Amino acid sequence: MGLSRGSAEQKAEVAPPTTLFLFGAHGDLVKRLLMPALYNLSRDGLVDEGLHIVGVDHNAISDADFARKLENFIRDEAAGKVAGGGKGSARSC
């Protein structure tokens, strides 16, 4: 049940399977803030494997190119914001 106050070690629950819609998926906010945060949550085991991300943007890009773009960003550019700085995983549905 979320975070409990007063305990020395706070433990969060894994999020349920979710579909996350990103409007402006190719934008700066998604790259700089949202993707590093999702990566960290996933690395910590707080994102269910049933998470689906649907990206919408006015710029056309294939699913494979979008997944590759996210992986490259996480690996190369987000190293300072992503705890551990490892390679992420993005794939097409």
pLDDT tens string 52-89: 888 888 988 888 888 888 787 777 665 665 555 444 45
Average pLDDT, the chain: 76
| Cβ-Cβ contacts under 8 Å for 17 (sequence gap 6 or more) | 48, 49, 50, 51, 52
Give this prediction's pTM: 0.62
Cα within 13 Å of Cα(52), Cβ side: 8
| Distance of alpha carbon 66 from alpha carbon 26, whole angstroms | 8
| Distance of alpha carbon 69 from alpha carbon 31, whole angstroms | 10
Nearest to 22 by CA among 37, 13, 35, 12: 35
**pLDDT score, position 75:** 74
